[in-house]
Structure 1
Amino acid sequence: MQLTASHSVLADLFGPREGAARLAKQAVLVVLGIALLAVAAKIKLPVWPSPVPVTMGTFAVLTIGAAYGARLGLVTVLGYLLIGVLGYDVFASSSSEQAGLSYMMGGTGGYLLGYVLATLTLGALAARGWDRSMLWMALAMMIGNALIYVPGLLWLGELYGWDKPILAWGLTPFLIGDGLKLLLAAVILPLIWKLVGDARG
């Protein structure tokens, strides 16, 4: 596996690659990405024996980062967060009554910061070819998940106090679901690359 920058992510392979048409394509991708993030955050699936259902929000964040690349992925995630700041119900536990900046500054704040860090990292790793191999994509997802959890847990500790069961609140209930999402992404993105290569071959 070559780990030097290839400057090619999945979003680069489709549609125009230069000029105004490329900008229009990127605008469409951003809008679609924001919509995907909002919908994925609301998808909740029970996973036994975890007491916490799996949401697809982190899966969407990490796969968009890998598929879009660091810059376009960052614009997409920041657009998603901006819509959240404006009070729209786009997060996993938000609602029409509990949304906006006050919600984002609560227990979820650190994880949302982690979305930004993880998107940048997954985009950078994808540009080095990590999304073309199941093994490297799985490792990239592990790194991305860590970058979401670290600021999330630090935020919880500062917000509620380190005498509270921070790991039990913000980490351990989600590990099974995150493991499943990691496996899913490790299969899907390399498979897309293989299909694209076969189609062009």
Structure 2
Amino acid sequence: MRDMTNLVLTRAALGRETTVARSAALAVAGSLLIALCAKIQVPMWPVPVTMQTFAVLLIGLAYGSRLGTATVALYLAQGAVGLPVFAAGGGIAYLAGPTAGYLLGYLPAVALVGWLAERGWSRPAGTVFLAMLLGSAVIYLCGAGWLSVLVGPEKAVTLGVVPFLLGDVVKAALAAALLPVAWRLLSRF
């Protein structure tokens, strides 16, 4: 079996041995990055797009499946207890309202993208782009699935998927441009 340890960016940057303290620090830093990106709104039509999903999926590509999932779980827990980490605040209501499926969809999405990263998908731009799109699809599946219970399937797709497709393609392209550069910089140092 091939050695996968250097295929995840954080392991390559920080070394093979990841201590509990280092993992905890990375999880906290990652959850803060997601919270910050949730507040960044990119004006697009018909609705603004946040960079929250970009951060979630990028963390999966950089951290791998286990640490990425733990980081997103920490982020969701922070929001559930009321910290204002979500796009419009915090509190348990966010995990039961119309956006609940999207937020909870971050967990399987980051796990999938992290798993792909552990198999080398975080290096070439094409696979980074595809991994980001696959992660977005998982988020849409969970989010629109939950939203369809509230508003029906047609409205869920019309309101909860279609307006965000272009933004997710742009985010995937941005990640595809950034990660190969990060790997090249890392190899120089």
TM-score, length of structure 1 as denominator length: 0.87
Aligned to 2:121: 130
Q: One-letter code of the match for 2:39?
A: K
Do the aligned residues in 1 keep the contact of 2:113 with 2:131 (CA within 8 Å)? Answer: yes
Larger % of helix: which? Answer: 2
Q: One-letter code of the match for 1:69?
A: G
1:142 match: secondary structure: helix
Do the aligned residues in 1 keep the contact of 2:59 with 2:110 (CA within 8 Å)? Answer: yes
Q: Deviation at 1:63?
A: 0.2
* Rg (Cα) greater in structure: 1
Q: One-letter code of the match for 1:58?
A: T
2:4 match: secondary structure: coil
Aligned to 2:61: 66
Cα distance in 2 between the residues matched to 1:129 and 1:156: 33
Aligned to 1:147: 138
Cα distance in 2 between the residues matched to 1:11 and 1:60: 15
Of all paired residues, the percent bearing the same amino acid is: 47
Cα distance in 1 between the residues matched to 2:13 and 2:126: 25
Cα distance in 2 between the residues matched to 1:68 and 1:42: 22
Aligned to 1:174: 164
Cα distance in 1 between the residues matched to 2:36 and 2:69: 18
Q: Deviation at 1:115?
A: 0.3
Stretch moving more, 5-14 or 124-133: 5-14
Unaligned runs of 5+ in 1: none
Unaligned runs of 5+ in 2: none
Q: Deviation at 1:102?
A: 1.6
Tell me the matched-pair count.
Answer: 187
Do the aligned residues in 1 keep the contact of 2:65 with 2:114 (CA within 8 Å)? Answer: yes
Aligned to 1:44: 41
Alignment of 1:51-200 (within 5 A): 51-92=46-87, 94-95=88-89, 99-162=90-153, 165-197=155-187, 199-200=188-189
